[in-house]
Structure 1
C-alpha cells in the first residue's frame, strides 16, 4: 500500500469553533505515501444536509419512513488524471499537504443536531482514487450554527410570547383521601445554555398522605417524513423537593441549571424540531404540570473538536 495516511483538517473562524452561513471553510488534506504515487482523482467535498428515518409496524409489514434535504454541496478537485502526461496527477513520496476552501451559502440553515431518528450534519469528505479497485476515503464533521436570532419564532411573535415573563399553571388532583392542589411558577420562559432559572411549586395538600414534588427538564423531538410524524420524548430529572405532609400547605423552590451542552430550541428545519418544557409532578396519579421553556444559544465557549477520523494503511504480510 503506497498511501499510509489520509486525514482532513479545517481552520477555526471564531472562539466557539463553529461556522455559520456566509463563512469560509478552509483547511488541508494530509496525505502520507511511502513512494511517488499516481492518482486518478483526488477531491474534497463539502455538504450540509438533514435527514430523518424511522420504521414502524403496519399490520404484517414493516414500513420505513425517511426524507432528506440538502442545504449545499460543493466539490473541489485537487488532482485529476486528464491524460495530459504533465505529472500534475502525481503525489510525491512523504507527507503532502493540499489546501482547500469552500464558502458556505449565506442562507438560513438549521444548526447541527443529532436526535433519535434524525440529524442535521455538515461534513467535509476527501476521496483519493488510485485505481478502480483502490480508493481511500476520510471525512470530518464541522459544527454549524444558524444565523437566525430566534430559530423558533419571529421577532414579532417573541414580543407576544414574552420570553422574560413569568408563567404559571394550576392543577387539582383528587385522591380517595382528599385532594391536592398545586401551582407551578417559573420566573421566565426563555433561558440560555448554561444559565439557571427558579421554579416554584405551591402545594395545598388536603389529603391524608404525604406528597413530594419532582422537577424535570422534558425534551420533545419531532420528526416528519412521508406525511407521517413521530415524536420522541425524554425527561431528565433535576431533583426532588421537600416532602409536604398531609393537611398542610407549602411552597418549594428549586433553581434549575440548564447544562451548557443542551441543544437550543429550533423550528427552522422542515423535517424536525426540538422543544423543551419544565415538568413538575407529585407522587400521586395524574398530578403533573408542564410549562413551555425555550432554550436559547448561550455565551460562546470553545468547541472541543472531535478527533479526526484518519486512515492509516498497513501492508499485509505476504
Structure 2
C-alpha cells in the first residue's frame, strides 16, 4: 500500500548548516497505491545529546554501562489526524524556526553524539508505524557563543607560553622556548600562526614539533570517559646547537575537524596546541605502534585554542 515514504529539507547555505533562529523548510513525500486511512501523519524537529559506554570490572567480573541524555528542543507539525488519503503521490511541506539560545553544535564521537534530526511518522491502526528520518548539521557561530558565554577568552586574544628545560640522557645543556599564537579562536580550514623563540644551549640540534590534539569528555552522572585524538603533527627545521632562532610556523586546521563544544553538560570537546622540544634526538619514531619515541617537553599555553564556526 505504502510505496514510498521520505523526508528531506532545503539547504540555506553552501555549507548546508543551520544555527540559532534559522528557518528550516522541507517536505514529507507519501506515495500510496490505494486509498489509505491514516490515524496520524506528522513531522518532528528535535535536538538532543546522548552518551553511552561500557567498562569492564575485572574484580567483580561484570560490565558496567553508563548513559546520559539531554533534550534541547522538540517541535512538531501535524499533517493528518484521523483522515483518509486517495491513492497517488502526496507532498506535505513543513517549516520550523529553530530556537534561539544555548544549543551546542552537532558532534559525533565514539561514546556520544549531539544530533539534530527531522523525523516523519505515519501511524495507522493495526499497522507498524512507518518512520523516515534525516539529520541536519547545527552550528553555533562565534558571535552567538560569546553572547551566551561572555566570560570566554576573546577569539582575537593571542595564546602564549614559555618553558626552560635542562636536558637529560645523552644531551647536556638546556633549551628554552617562548611560543605565541596570533589569536585564540579559529575556524575550520583556517591557519594557526605560531611564533616561537628558541634558545638551544644544549649539545645537540633540536627539532621543534607542533601537535594539535582534540580532547573529548563524555559525562554520565559522576562518571567520565575521555578520548584524545591527534588532529595533526608538524615538525620545523632543526635548531642548531648553541644557537638562537625565531621560527614562524603556519599550521592549517583540517576543514572537517569537530568544533569546540563548551555548552553541553554531557559532552565537552576541547583543542590543545602543543609546542614540543625533544629532550634527546638519539631515537626516532616512524609513527608505528611498536616504535620507541623520544621524551618531549611542551610549552603550556595560557588558554586552549577554540575551533569555532563563522561566516567567512
- Pick the TM interval, shorter chain: 0.7 to 0.9
**Equivalence map 1:138-217=2 (5 Å):** 138-146=132-140, 149=143, 151=145, 154-158=149-153, 163-165=156-158, 167-176=160-169, 177-183=171-177, 184-217=179-212
CA 240–175 in structure 1, closer or farther in 2 if over 3 Å, else same: same
CA 173–288 in structure 1, closer or farther in 2 if over 3 Å, else same: farther
**Distance (Å, rounded) in 2 between the aligned partners of 1:140 and 1:13:** 16
CA 237–148 in structure 1, closer or farther in 2 if over 3 Å, else same: closer
Report the TM-score, using the length of structure 1 for normalisation: 0.80
Report the TM-score, using the length of structure 2 for normalisation: 0.81
Match of 1:61 in 2: 62
Match of 1:311 in 2: none
In the TM superposition, structure 1's runs of 4+ consecutive aligned residues that sit over 6 Å from their partners are: none
Match of 1:297 in 2: 309
Q: 2:77 matched to 1:76?
A: yes
Q: 2:226 matched to 1:231?
A: yes
**Distance (Å, rounded) in 2 between the aligned partners of 1:147 and 1:187:** 20
**Distance (Å, rounded) in 2 between the aligned partners of 1:237 and 1:135:** 46
1:255 shift after superposition: 0.4
Q: Deviations over 1:253-312 (max 9, x none)?
A: 310122333333231111122211211223332422243212232325xxxxxxxxxxxx
Match of 1:28 in 2: 27
Task: Indicate the larger mover: 188-197 or 222-231.
Answer: 188-197
Match of 1:263 in 2: 258
**Equivalence map 1:41-120=2 (5 Å):** 41-58=40-57, 59=59, 60-81=61-82, 88-90=83-85, 92-120=86-114
Structure 2, unaligned runs of 5 or more: 280-294
CA 74–150 in structure 1, closer or farther in 2 if over 3 Å, else same: closer
Q: 2:269 matched to 1:274?
A: yes
Verify the 8 A CA contact 1:167 1:189 in the aligned structure 2.
no
Structure 1, unaligned runs of 5 or more: 82-87, 301-318
1:178 shift after superposition: 0.9
Match of 1:288 in 2: 298
RMSD: 2.6
Q: Deviations over 1:100-138 (max 9, x none)?
A: 233333332112122232211111111223453443221
**Distance (Å, rounded) in 2 between the aligned partners of 1:137 and 1:212:** 56
> Partner of 2:105: helix, strand, or coil?
coil
Match of 1:85 in 2: none
Q: Deviations over 1:223-259 (max 9, x none)?
A: 2111122221112224211123444433333101223
Aligned residues: 290
| Residue 128 of structure 1, aligned match among 122, 144, 149 | 122
**Distance (Å, rounded) in 2 between the aligned partners of 1:66 and 1:96:** 40
**Distance (Å, rounded) in 2 between the aligned partners of 1:98 and 1:150:** 33
Task: Indicate the larger mover: 43-52 or 104-113.
Answer: 104-113
